[in-house]
Amino acid sequence: MFPVRTVKQVYTSDAAISEEMLRRITMWEQMYSGKAPWISDDIISLGTEQAIVRELANITLGEMTAAVTNKKLDGIFQMAIENLNINMQKALAMGAFVVKPLGIGSDKVQYVPQGSFIPMEYDVNGRLTKVIFPEIKCLSEREYLIRLEHHSLDMNGLTITNRAFRSSSPDTLGKEISLSSVPEWAGMTEAVRYPKMLRPAFGYYVNPIANTVDGSHAGVSVFDKAVHVIRKADIQFGRLDWEFESGERAIHADAAALRLSESGEYRLPDTKKKLYRGLNIDNGTEELFKEYSPILRQDNFIAGLEEYKRTIEFIVGLSYGDLSNPQFVEKTATEVKSARKRKYNTVSAIQNNLKTCLDDLVYALAFYNGLTLSGYEFICDFKDSILMDEETEREQDRKDLANGTLRPEEYRSKWRGETLEQAVKNLPKAAEVIE
């Protein structure tokens, strides 16, 4: 993460992000990478963070249709969102991301997760209006080139400036140099103004979660409120793993009972190293072998782990069974319906913010490719068949059953938990009605 405090050396204002927020972003990155602060040789990551964002991203994008009516612009846009899912997962973990076109005439975009850009100002609605995109090139251990691309949007339009620096460390700016001294940056202008640009030159997505870290508009990770429970789940799995490891069957054998090697030392049988443990247990009265086979208590540990998973599901807005074993604890119909509605609301809010992001991205792509006045329309729709609450989904299935697009045995199999073969046998008589 670029040291944001150094921007005040170049610009007149501080970054719109606190030190506490920066620390939290660092922790989310560590957790998402499976390297949370509590991970050790005895405690491994369950990958809960990746599972959360993968499930939310898959459901959010699973049935999304997004297109632009202008054929050329649509082609550019479709290429831009080819890797949207994997970058969406990172954004959900890190709190936000920017999808930034690479400039005039370019059909390429760059996904920049929160932590890799420096927010300088938000408007009252939380839209990012001033931001710095750092680019760092490492020439050697003691030589770095740093470029700061600053975007500023106001009522007079968009202004983009570029400044370059040479430093001995990526943590400091060092001495300012000309852009022309770096071949890759030589063609960039130091400052350019687009007075007709009324929106940001990028798409900005932020998680629909209230920021209780510092109260700013900066995005918050979808698993931030569940950090303490995710930690407990990882620790609980460590306990479960230790229960199995420490409970391995073993035979305590006196050294006299073990095989004597050619060197004159007692050694364990090659294929039984985990089974035999050599001890001096012979006191003249006890047997040379003693079996160690404790009773495993895995059921209690698993029950605790499943409870932690269900708590995480509740906190992050997932349904029961997305992380936990849905068969472990029986849920009432009301609880299941409530959980599905919770997930529906979570994903719908994410989709709304993503749609705004993609709309701004299309505008930026149109601007950079001279298509702003082409009369294009952006169409984005998120079908909710996966997200329907149970009653809505059941009502739709009833309609499909009535018009013949769903067979009776398929309906019964889905809602009665039967196989298709069982459903065929259990179909009611013609005079009966399926409820």
Question: For the segment 185-209, what is each residue's pLDDT rounded down to a tens digit?
Answer: 988 889 999 998 889 999 999 999 9
Local confidence band at 280 (pLDDT 50, 70, 90 cut-offs): low
Q: For residue 239, which phi and psi values (nearest 5 degrees)? A: -65, -45
> Is the pLDDT reported for residue 45 higher than 50?
yes
How high does pLDDT run on average in the chain? 83
Most trustworthy range by pLDDT among 137-151, 254-268, 411-425: 137-151
Local confidence band at 332 (pLDDT 50, 70, 90 cut-offs): low
**Does an H or E element contain 206, and which?**
strand 203-206
> Is the pLDDT reported for residue 63 higher than 80?
yes
Contacts of residue 296, Cβ cutoff 8 Å, sequence gap at least 6? 243, 244, 247
Higher pLDDT, 193 or 258: 193
**SS3 of 217, please?**
coil
The mean pLDDT of 83-110, rounded to a whole number, is 92
Tokens of 285: 């009265």
The mean pLDDT of 147-171, rounded to a whole number, is 91
Bridge partners for 204 per DSSP: 98
The mean pLDDT of 48-69, rounded to a whole number, is 93
**Does an H or E element contain 390, and which?**
helix 390-402
pLDDT in tens, 21-44: 999 999 999 999 999 999 998 888
> Is the pLDDT reported for residue 328 higher than 80?
no
What pLDDT is recorded for position 202?
A: 95
What pLDDT is recorded for position 412?
A: 85
The mean pLDDT of 167-184, rounded to a whole number, is 88
Q: Which of 198, 213, 154, 162 is nearest to 21 (CA)?
A: 213
| Residue 34 Ramachandran class (φ > 0 left, ψ -120 to 50 alpha, else beta) | left
Local confidence band at 271 (pLDDT 50, 70, 90 cut-offs): very low
Rounded to the nearest 5 percent, the helix, strand and coil shares of the chain are: 40, 20, 40
Please tell me the pTM assigned to this model: 0.78
| Burial track 334-351 (b if 16+ CB lie within 10 A, e otherwise) | eebebbbbbbbebbeebb
Contacts of residue 410, Cβ cutoff 8 Å, sequence gap at least 6? 420, 423
